[in-house]
Amino acid sequence: MCRIPEPRPAAGGPRAAEPGAALRCEAAHRGVALVRAYAGEDAPAVSSVLGGLGPAARTELRAVICEMLGVVIGTVMSAPRAFAPADVVRTAERITGAAPARHRPALSRAVRAWASGDQGPLRTLMGDGPGGSGGSDGSGGLHAGAVFATALALTSWGEAPLRDLLDAFDALPGGAPAMAAGP
């Protein structure tokens, strides 16, 4: 399961100068941008969002993606289900076209397994299962979390509500990076 990070102060708050604050803010910005890129099926934007990430930035981005996935899952599970798992698979198959080609087969297998009741491949791809790391550079897990969150949100809510949610994250005081600050 994704780690639950501790609450963080708002951007510009008393601990904003603490080591790692800028990294967390950048990760929050990139997380929103990655989900937005997948929702728009924009392969160049997906690539751009993940370009130049070092190991520490990947770790922070993974935490942000897990937080976003948690928000989507929590919201989807709190309402009556108005979709079938196969609908999520169809949406994921469509948006996965924006992923790097080397990740597409694993993303497809993981979402299809989830739809049949097996969370193992998705957890492994995201780095939570035995031997999981999401690929040699860990980016498979970033793609898996973003694709799954985006596919669930698009299937459950549609494009406009997801875009509104992402816009709300961008509108937080300090912009999208404030999402990493917590409440």
Question: What is 21-76 written as a DSSP string?
Answer: HHHHHHHHHHHHHHHHHHHTT-HHHHHHHHTT--HHHHHHHHHHHHHHHHHHHHHH
Please tell me what DSSP assigns to residue 9: P
Residues of the chain with pLDDT under 50: 1-16, 129-133, 177-183
DSSP category for residue 75? H
Determine whether 36 is exposed, middle or buried from the number of CB atoms within 10 Å of its CB (0-12, 13-18, 19+): buried
The label of the residue with tokens 């520490």 reads 56
What is the number of other CB atoms lying within 10 angstroms of the CB of residue 22?
13
The two tokens of residue 42 are: 């924009």
Q: For the chain, what are the domain ranges?
A: 21-181
For residue 136, what pLDDT is reported? Answer: 58
pLDDT digits (tens, 9 = 90+) for 126-164: 875 444 445 556 788 999 999 999 999 999 999 999 999
Task: Give the model's pLDDT for residue 112.
Answer: 95
| Predicted model pTM | 0.81
In angstroms, what is the C-alpha Rg of the chain? Answer: 16
